[in-house]
Structure 1
Amino acid sequence: MVTTTPIALVTGGDKGLGLSMVRHLARQGVDIIFTYRSNLEGAQKVEAELTQQGHRIKALQLDVADVGGFDAFTNQVGKTLAQWQAEHFNFLVNNAGIGIYASLMETTEDQFDTLVNIHFKGAFFLTQKLVPLMADGGRILNISTGLTRFCLPGYSAYAAMKGAIEVLTRYQATELAARKITVNTLAPGAIETDFGGGAVRDNNEINHYIASVTALGRAGRPDDIGGVVAALLGSDTGWINAQRIEASGGMKL
């Protein structure tokens, strides 16, 4: 018997925003495949936590910067679906990423290439490999950043990669329309995680500054974003397509 429970694939789901996304989607009754790069212990803890709560979940290792590994990863996804008696998965969240802080004049070529490979090239070609395993009428959500709308010195390369993702989102929505697959961008504001060395969470000066330029008066928290992801992949939001949705609490209005 083929399962009809929706299945989501979330990259970078072992911590931070990705972990919150995984938890919120599981509470919504979605089965989860999530990836981790090197945090095997953390991934196993997430698997154990949600399995104990009665959810079906699978952690798979993936380096989104290594395009050469995408064929093997796609095969692992296919095997997981077969084990779950599923023909396809429904939701893809391109979330995995890193933060590199460097001024325009100090950014190195190695830093630039790392950001390209993780945030743009990886997301581009991973989606290309996975789309054949997606169900018609599925959803893709690409994670961007509020920094494509407002500017903070030190993030020019990172924000530029995310700007490319926002353009790619519209093209994906156009080219996948025949299969009724919607594609949107979610742009978080500054969030209290370990991203970028945990500066927003751990540096009081930075945290207070973020709060001072945010209409709702505080920095974001992971569950602020996890909840939005669950809503955007919910049954009532299927008519949203090719859009950039910002979840920043009204930062830098």
Structure 2
Amino acid sequence: MSTTTPIALITGGSRGLGRSMALKLAEHGNDVVLTYRSNKAEAEAVVEAITKQGRRAAALQLDVGKASTFAAFADQLRSVLKNHWQRDRFDYLVNNAGIGVHANFAETTEAQFDELVNIHLKGAFFLTQTLLPLIADGGRIVNISSGLARFALPGYAAYAAMKGAIEVLTRYLAKELGPRRIAVNTLAPGAIETDFGGGVVRDNADVNAFVASQTALGRVGLPDDVGGAIAMLLSKDSGWINAQRIEASGGMFI
């Protein structure tokens, strides 16, 4: 990894958990490139907040569900690294971007399934592959999974299946990228108060209370709980953690 200020690339970094990750990493001394799918103003607001912390940041448009655009995105990223940082590599990749689909197994459509595959599995697989030449040796990758890959709640069969696949992919990446000293881990959030899935955990009092009652620490997770976990995983003291699934759920369903 470079001896200069580390640069982290966070997909889906303009809102929700990704926004918290970006701000927490900046707080811990990292520069940030974040991607957004459609809301440029939202992304630029995060860049401005990072800049106010004294760190450098940039926002790039990317739809992780469209693998055909990844080569062009990599070219754009090369230009940003060169122009903003006079660098040709970045240090940390966080595959965070995603959507939620709530549908019982019997009612899940092929279109819903395909969208989840394209965003959560194919997207993370081929974006990481495309960006490998730009990741510094000794860098790190964190793939975002979900507590739903460990425990089962009706309505999330397809979504959780994608996250289970991501957890397997993490171990393979750790093995194959080991010669480059790139550590690869999974972070699996529990239920968090964001707008994810229509904001059900945040906005539905009954759901919020149920989750809190099933969590050892007695509350629902907040975005900064996950942002802080990412900052911990990408800190200089965590480099020996590799090929692990780390759950940030407050002890949900234990």
Counterpart for residue 182 of structure 1: 183
Query: What stretches of structure 1 of length at least 5 have no aligned partner?
Result: none
Q: How does 1:147-226 map to 2 (within 5 A)?
A: 147-226=148-227
Which SS does the other structure have where 1:102 is aligned?
Answer: coil
Does structure 1 conserve the Cα–Cα contact (< 8 Å) formed by 2:43 and 2:59? yes
Counterpart for residue 36 of structure 1: 36
One-letter amino acid of the counterpart of residue 140, structure 2? R
Does structure 1 conserve the Cα–Cα contact (< 8 Å) formed by 2:193 and 2:220? yes
Distance 1:45 1:113 in 2: 32
Counterpart for residue 133 of structure 2: 132
Shift of 1:52: 2.6
Which SS does the other structure have where 2:171 is aligned?
Answer: helix
**Structure 1 stretches of 4+ moved >2 Å:** none
One-letter amino acid of the counterpart of residue 34, structure 1? L
Distance 1:166 1:3 in 2: 30
> What is the number of residues matched between the two proteins?
252
Distance 2:197 2:169 in 1: 24
- CA RMSD across the alignment: 1.0
Counterpart for residue 123 of structure 2: 122
One-letter amino acid of the counterpart of residue 207, structure 1? N
Which SS does the other structure have where 1:218 is aligned?
Answer: coil
Query: What stretches of structure 2 of length at least 5 have no aligned partner?
Result: none
Distance 1:48 1:27 in 2: 13
One-letter amino acid of the counterpart of residue 17, structure 1? L
Distance 1:50 1:241 in 2: 28
Shift of 1:45: 1.1
Does structure 1 conserve the Cα–Cα contact (< 8 Å) formed by 2:211 and 2:220? yes
Shift of 1:129: 0.5
One-letter amino acid of the counterpart of residue 44, structure 2? Q
Which SS does the other structure have where 1:105 is aligned?
Answer: helix
One-letter amino acid of the counterpart of residue 225, structure 2? D
Which SS does the other structure have where 1:192 is aligned?
Answer: coil
Does structure 1 conserve the Cα–Cα contact (< 8 Å) formed by 2:10 and 2:22? yes
Shift of 1:46: 1.1
Counterpart for residue 56 of structure 2: 56
Shift of 1:3: 7.8
Counterpart for residue 236 of structure 2: 235
Distance 2:189 2:173 in 1: 20
Distance 1:232 1:48 in 2: 24
Shift of 1:41: 1.2
One-letter amino acid of the counterpart of residue 221, structure 2? G
Q: Give the TM-score normalised by the residue count of structure 1.
A: 0.98
Percent of pairs identical after alignment?
65
Q: Give the TM-score normalised by the residue count of structure 2.
A: 0.98
